Each structure stands twice: as structure tokens, then as C-alpha cells.
Amino acid sequence: EVQLVETGGGLVQPGRSLKLSCVASGFTFNNYWMSWTRQAPGKGLEWVASITNSGGSTYYPDSVKGRFTISRDNAQNTLYLQMNSLRSEDTATYYCTREGLWVSSFDYWGQGVMVTVSS
Amino acid sequence: DIQMTQSPASLSASLGETVTIECRASEDIYSNLAWYQQKPGNSPQLLIYDANSLADGVPSRFSGSGSGTQYSLKINSLQSEDVASYFCQQYNNYPYTFGAGTKLELK
């Protein structure tokens, strides 16, 4: 059974940093591209970052480029999201998502972790 | 960036009814489109990928269609467990973008 379990969320002040982790199980982690997607309270979905299966390439929208860094440790089956210079608009539930092997839709989602940016 | 315009924003339907949700892309996305269902308090789940392919375990009353810039999700014979929000997503180009969502309720 595929499982994605996120940790590391919480309350953080504007301008500070936070690092999210996602432990994957139930599939061969190093075969799959992985992503982070977020959802502000009561709002829609926003893609945040993607990383290739090897970790050699990463992709971001302009809203987080230069502030967020996605990375992975294939030996530990773990995906990370380092978030720096956090802003109030980064407040959201962050989901770890797996991209399909042959198609880039998100075929599995974690339960999500809440990040609140507030003073 | 590709804009995804989803309609309607909300929808009220009766059990057994057929429901259709539309999604329009600001440019051709070559069927690189997914639909997700999000039940209250839960994570989104993949329903449809590549515009018309049913994800594993998804009931056959769900179907997707469309091409170019126009896509739709149809739910046949609406069930109570289909009460949820539905989102479309394009993955043809970065940044991946989502529609604003459709909230489906029972009449």
C-alpha cells in the first residue's frame, strides 16, 4: 500500500524558515518524480515544487522560486521541502504528492501538514 | 502560465442525477489534464488522468472527456458519497495549474 506521511508543519513567524519531510512507503521511491502541492484554508490547490526521481532536476512556480527548495534522499525514501523567508500567504496545508510513472498527474497524496505563518 | 477556468463554482444535484463539470484551459494542453476529488477534511484523490483515463479504483460512473482547451468531468447516477469538491489540473506545462474547484452538494 502506497503511503506518504508528512511531518514538520507548525506555526512560524514571517521571514523565518521551516523544513517539511515526507516519508514514502509501499513503492519503489527512486523510480518516481515527487512533488509538493499546497492548499490555503478554504481555497484551491497550488503546485509548489517537483523533483525528478534522481533529484537531478527541480521545478518551481514563481511564487516560491528562490525561497523554497525541494530535495530527496532516495536511501531514506524521504522527500523534503525547505521553506525560507516565509510569508503569511504561504499559510496552507502542504501535501506530498507522487507523480505517475508515465503521466504527470498526482496519483497519490499524503494526509497533509499545516503550516501557519503568523507573528 | 496556463489559466484553468472551471465551472460551475458550485452545484446542487439530486441522487441519481447526471452531473457535468467543465474546465477550460487558456491554451491547448493536449489532453494533459487530471481531475481530482476532495471530500471534506480529506486529501484530494485522483479520478481521471490524460483527460479520459480512469484512475485505479475509481467507479465507472465517473468519466472524463475533451481535447484542446475544453474538458469535462461527468458523474453518472450521482451517489451520496460523491459530495465533494472537484478540481481540474493541467500538467502540460510548468507551472502546473489547477482550476478553482467545483463544490458539489446534494439537493
Distance of alpha carbon A22 from alpha carbon A2, whole angstroms: 13
Q: Which of A105, A109, A114 to mutate to test the interface with B (most CBs of B within 10 A)?
A: A105
Using CB atoms, pick whichever of B55, B87, B101 lies closest to residue A107. B55
- A101 pLDDT exceeds 90? no
Q: What angle do CA A21, A27, A31 make, to 5 degrees?
A: 85
The pLDDT of residue A102 is 86
Q: How far is B55 from chain A (nearest CA, A)?
A: 8
CA–CA separation, A118 and A91 (whole Å): 8
pLDDT of amino acid B84: 98
Instruction: Categorise residue A89: left if φ over 0, alpha if ψ from -120 to 50, beta otherwise.
Output: alpha
Query: Out of A100-104, A112-116, B4-8, B9-13, which region has the weakest mean confidence (pLDDT)?
Result: A100-104
Q: Could you give the CA distance from residue A12 to residue B91 in angstroms, rounded to a whole number?
A: 31
pLDDT digits (tens, 9 = 90+) for A16-61: 999 999 999 999 999 999 999 999 999 999 999 999 999 999 999 9
Mean pLDDT of the region B29-34? 98
CB contact under 8 A, B94 and A46: no
CA distance B36 to B4: 14
